[in-house]
Structure 1
Amino acid sequence: MDRAKAGPSEGSIGSDFLQLDVREAPPGGLADWLAGRLRAAVADGRLPVGGRLPASRVLAAELRVSRGVVTEAYQRLIDDGHAAGRGRAGTVVVAAPVLPPDPAPARVPSKVITPLPGVEVFDAIRAIPARLDLTPGVPDLTAFPRAAWLRAERAVLDELEPSHFGYGDPRGAPSMRLAVSRWLARNRGIRVDPGEIIVVAGVAQALTLLGEVLRQHGIAEIAVEDPGSLGARQHLHHCGLATPPIPVDDDGVRVAALQSPAVLLTPAHQFPMGVVLGGERRRELMRWVSDGGIVVEDDYDAEHRYDRAPVPAVRAMVPEVCYTGSVSKLLAPALRVGWLLAPPRFRDDLVAAKRFADLGNAVLAQLVLARLMETGELERQLRVVRGRHRRRRDAMIRALSASLPGARVHGAAAGLHLTVTFDGEVDDVAVAAAALGEGVKVQPLSWHRQRPGRPGLVLGYAARTASEIEEGIAVLGRLVR
């Protein structure tokens, strides 16, 4: 609600800034109007990224409106991720909104979303332009801490010895492995010697290296959660491993159903259903490991929690677990930096596999990340995005309640996505395909199943604003109805 007590006085009321004229605003909607004009100016480049908005007191005086109207409009841009408050430096534009294609939407290739997707499906969908991307797994990329990264990079370069520009340890830079060991101790309850850590190019490479080494040790299959990540299954299949499904219920994977020599789990926030592996199931899993079972733990987004206490990693209780995580959900997938912890029986073979894969990750990015971890910048970043992600999750829940009231919502307490399931005859593949045709990207839940189950959709909320989320869910609601 606008906080102005009255409309503009008579006469020409406006500002040279963006040629704003409050007479164009609808009655009672000054803040909405001003926020819309500012978003449009950011989108078309009149307000470039890095540009500073006028002081709220100055713009309010020029427009002859209450200062509250201007501060509310600025706050909406901040909540949307398009601007950031920088204290005495004022309010600065940090990201441009994505405009719908103009003049007509690009033609979506036929048969991209099908019941049996191929290995290229995720690349194909990413390449398709869309108004609203609600696919899971992407954090708010507009929140990437560019200033902190640049400060850390300058500090690292100032201290870097010439020898650091040569070939490094395939396990990763020593300072990065030390920083990761301390990060895991603080945030995931894992105590690990830095020498046990292998820095990898994200969880995807960790799974590929593990698949290769498990095959070397005579293991031909690794059980996976069902439903469980299609992308993870594709990586394991590429390594020649079978992936028998193990059912997931409200307490996580049914450990008693395990018959394979190894299993891939997401115990802190199961993908895609969002459940936590319960205490009794964890004890069952510990007994299973003590009998020789191999657990690969993908701790993909455990730091993002909102309505529950932190859940410790299984690796914190069972040192024999192969554990992997990354900064993809903390900072950005494009960094391609993660870590892999493995028990002694596999460690040497994994280091050899990493050496022959790429000789080790790029060192400079490791050193910058290590500095962000050690200075507390990464924790500060996590606090910032947690608040933003929580607001966007809440916006998605409200939108689902309004547009898909019959859907059941799963996994709201943590993570970067929600899963909704439907009763009755809903073809989730057809809904996702139709949504893509209207410029909204989502994933059908059936993609992540190997066994029959309820249809549904997997919906990412972290990378979209509240208004974009509402618009996208409205499209889905219409298509499901």
Structure 2
Amino acid sequence: MDLLLDLDAAPGTTLRRRAEHALREAVRSGRLAVGTRLPSTRALAAQLGVSRGVVVEAYAQLAAEGYLVTRRGGGTTVGGAGAGAGAGAGGAGTGGAGASGGAWAGGGRAGGVGGGAWAGGGRAGAGADGGGAGSGGAGAAGDALGGTDAWGAVLGARRAAAQQVKHDLRPALPALDGFPRAAWLAAVGRVLRTIPDERLGYPDPAGAIELRATLAAYLGRVRGVRAAPDQIVVTSGLRQGLDLLWATLARQGVRRVAVEVPGWRGWRQTSEAAGIESVALDVDASGADVDAIADLGVDAVGISPAHQFPTGAVLSSRRRTLLVEWAQRTGAVIVEDDYDAEFRYDRKPVGSLQGLAPDVVVYGGTASKTLAPAVRLGWLVLPRPLVEPVLDGQRRLGGVPAPIDQLALADLIERGELDRHLRRQRRRYRRQRDALLAALERELPEVEVEGVAAGLHAVLRLPAGAEEEAVLAVAHARGVALDGLGHGRPALVVGYANLTVPAVDRAVAALADAVRAASPRSRPRVRRA
């Protein structure tokens, strides 16, 4: 199992003392509930990048203090001493912007090849989470197109387009063949054998309480999120959650939102659909340039601080502090997309922004990358003043995911199956990432590679003189599906998660041919960022 601990929170002390402090605070704050099973000493040491002895000694000290309970053969769990001594999850939303008369006072990503998909903000990739056009299912689309004949024509066109793609490097897809079918089937079976008949009626608009309680504990453990179950609203993916959120904020007076550029176009699409104007917020190596946010005249900001899409930048600690202080001072809303935070290879985990300021941050998450986009499950963690207004929208518009799916996900998390699945996928994605880097070194040494320390895609900066659109056109003609950055220096955005290692090698070789055909000059060796 994963456990997010910040060993930098107590500088100037030994690693053991820092580990003790981080564990103690996680228990005292209520982030780790009584009875929560902790990772083995070996597993936690590997996660933190420290020796096993550091964790063994930290566990022993906290067991002596009563914070942990260690049983021979039974592992280590959270004890009762000091548990929830802080404000805890339940008080996360009180005060702050809501109390001060702020923004809530008074109350998919497209597929295709190339074409500057991220200009003005766009997260592409066939079938990725939040693809609104396809979320209604075949029946709904057939009605809109005038019947089954039209829908059949659409399916035929899609199949024909897919056959033209020989090498699919589009981002935003996980390994679809890695979906844990057996574990999911077993979870659904357990749900169907035990669910009472009355639970098969109309679902709770907030989502199944079992899933909300499980998510509150899980997100607290792995992402540092501070929330009680009644602050969580389960949605049919992140986009549907944002539709609900922006509509709510628009009713409460939000008029302008800053969104990352380059970035996911869903920010712009969902906010503007609610009548909220979107304003560009530039992104650099330290994440979104929040130093400029005070001059933009915005009431809200949409941001992916742990792994910015598509650049892979991590919002710096200084900028996190500045952003939170701005929101708390002005009553603005921060909307956090915790994009790809689960998949990291060469850097330490980064906690959620919500954990720093649960009174002003709305946290959004989804199962589209951890499991698959077809699992239409997402969630919003809301400051308390926003819970009922968002639920009002959910009641009016519907869109609550199937309770059986919700309970199946809760079952997977409770049994540790999701943790095991993520560990398998991280190992797989690291192999595929390494294969991509090796293939680029061999086939395309003239490009600069960025954003590969985490996530499921990479940004390839093209050499001087290369034209992004020309490379995309040649690649498309040769059956290589990928996207362009469409912002700043010419670059390509390539996904590698939904490919085998041999397929990565073949795709990069084909891409190299396309790049040289469009811009044949040789360049310096590859650089990793």
Q: Normalising TM by the smaller chain, what interval? A: 0.7 to 0.9
Cα deviation for residue 403 of structure 1 reads: 2.1
Residue of structure 1 in register with 2:261 after alignment: 226
- Tell me the SS of whatever aligns to 1:333: coil
Residue of structure 2 in register with 1:378 after alignment: 418
Cα deviation for residue 476 of structure 1 reads: 1.8
> Does 2:490 correspond to 1:455?
yes
Cα deviation for residue 207 of structure 1 reads: 1.7
> Does 2:439 correspond to 1:399?
yes
Cα deviation for residue 210 of structure 1 reads: 1.7
- Tell me the SS of whatever aligns to 2:281: strand
Give the 3 Å change call, closer, same or farther, for CA 232–441 of structure 1 in structure 2. farther
Q: TM-score, normalised by structure 2?
A: 0.66
Give the 3 Å change call, closer, same or farther, for CA 122–401 of structure 1 in structure 2. closer
- Tell me the SS of whatever aligns to 1:195: helix
Tell which structure's C-alpha radius of gyration is larger: 1
The answer on whether the counterparts of 2:170 and 2:495 sit within 8 Å (CA) in structure 1 is: yes
> Does 2:507 correspond to 1:469?
no
Give the 3 Å change call, closer, same or farther, for CA 374–121 of structure 1 in structure 2. closer
Residue of structure 2 in register with 1:411 after alignment: 451
Give the 3 Å change call, closer, same or farther, for CA 139–406 of structure 1 in structure 2. same
Q: Structure 2 unaligned runs (5+)?
A: 1-111, 127-153, 517-529
Match of 1:148 among 180, 183, 199: 183
Separation in 2 of the partners of 1:279 and 1:204?
Answer: 27
> Does 2:326 correspond to 1:288?
yes
> Does 2:275 correspond to 1:240?
yes
Separation in 2 of the partners of 1:376 and 1:362?
Answer: 22
Give the 3 Å change call, closer, same or farther, for CA 120–424 of structure 1 in structure 2. closer
Give the 3 Å change call, closer, same or farther, for CA 366–350 of structure 1 in structure 2. same
Residue of structure 1 in register with 2:348 after alignment: 309
The answer on whether the counterparts of 2:124 and 2:172 sit within 8 Å (CA) in structure 1 is: no
Cα deviation for residue 261 of structure 1 reads: 1.5
Separation in 1 of the partners of 2:187 and 2:375?
Answer: 15
Match of 2:394 among 338, 354, 357: 354
Separation in 2 of the partners of 1:287 and 1:440?
Answer: 45
Residue of structure 2 in register with 1:299 after alignment: 338
Over the aligned positions, Cα root-mean-square deviation in angstroms equals: 2.2
- Tell me the SS of whatever aligns to 2:354: helix
- Tell me the SS of whatever aligns to 2:312: coil
Separation in 2 of the partners of 1:313 and 1:430?
Answer: 39
The answer on whether the counterparts of 1:396 and 1:470 sit within 8 Å (CA) in structure 2 is: yes
Residue of structure 2 in register with 1:263 after alignment: 301
Seq. identity, %: 41
Residue of structure 2 in register with 1:276 after alignment: 314
Residue of structure 2 in register with 1:333 after alignment: 373
The answer on whether the counterparts of 1:170 and 1:361 sit within 8 Å (CA) in structure 2 is: no
The answer on whether the counterparts of 1:149 and 1:368 sit within 8 Å (CA) in structure 2 is: yes
In structure 1, give the amino acid aligned to 2:443. Answer: S
Residue of structure 2 in register with 1:440 after alignment: 480
Cα deviation for residue 359 of structure 1 reads: 5.4
Residue of structure 2 in register with 1:136 after alignment: 171
Separation in 2 of the partners of 1:120 and 1:240?
Answer: 21
Separation in 2 of the partners of 1:210 and 1:249?
Answer: 27
Separation in 2 of the partners of 1:179 and 1:345?
Answer: 22
Give the 3 Å change call, closer, same or farther, for CA 122–330 of structure 1 in structure 2. closer
The count of corresponding residues between Structure 1 and Structure 2 is 366
- Tell me the SS of whatever aligns to 2:411: helix
In structure 1, give the amino acid aligned to 2:502. Answer: S
Separation in 2 of the partners of 1:316 and 1:409?
Answer: 31
Separation in 1 of the partners of 2:246 and 2:374?
Answer: 23
Separation in 2 of the partners of 1:456 and 1:235?
Answer: 26
- Tell me the SS of whatever aligns to 1:322: strand
The answer on whether the counterparts of 1:389 and 1:462 sit within 8 Å (CA) in structure 2 is: yes
Q: Is the deviation greater in 349-358 or in 381-390? A: 349-358
Cα deviation for residue 284 of structure 1 reads: 0.6
Cα deviation for residue 293 of structure 1 reads: 2.3
In structure 1, give the amino acid aligned to 2:499. Answer: R
The answer on whether the counterparts of 1:251 and 1:275 sit within 8 Å (CA) in structure 2 is: yes
The answer on whether the counterparts of 1:266 and 1:297 sit within 8 Å (CA) in structure 2 is: yes
- Tell me the SS of whatever aligns to 2:277: coil
Separation in 1 of the partners of 2:502 and 2:399?
Answer: 45
- Tell me the SS of whatever aligns to 1:328: coil
Give the 3 Å change call, closer, same or farther, for CA 297–474 of structure 1 in structure 2. same
In structure 1, give the amino acid aligned to 2:212. Answer: R
Residue of structure 1 in register with 2:430 after alignment: 390
In structure 2, give the amino acid aligned to 1:390. Answer: R
Cα deviation for residue 346 of structure 1 reads: 2.3
Separation in 2 of the partners of 1:313 and 1:325?
Answer: 11
Cα deviation for residue 156 of structure 1 reads: 1.1
In structure 2, give the amino acid aligned to 1:182. Answer: A
Give the 3 Å change call, closer, same or farther, for CA 264–314 of structure 1 in structure 2. same
Cα deviation for residue 120 of structure 1 reads: 13
Q: Is the deviation greater in 134-143 or in 209-218? A: 209-218
Give the 3 Å change call, closer, same or farther, for CA 121–393 of structure 1 in structure 2. closer
Separation in 1 of the partners of 2:193 and 2:361?
Answer: 38
> Does 2:210 correspond to 1:175?
yes
In structure 1, give the amino acid aligned to 2:237. Answer: G
Cα displacement string for residues 133-188 of structure 1 (whole angstroms, at most 9, x for unaligned residues): 21111111111111111111111111110011101210100101011111101110
Cα deviation for residue 358 of structure 1 reads: 1.6
The answer on whether the counterparts of 2:306 and 2:352 sit within 8 Å (CA) in structure 1 is: yes
Cα deviation for residue 385 of structure 1 reads: 0.4
The answer on whether the counterparts of 1:428 and 1:457 sit within 8 Å (CA) in structure 2 is: yes
Separation in 2 of the partners of 1:244 and 1:276?
Answer: 21
Separation in 2 of the partners of 1:408 and 1:126?
Answer: 33
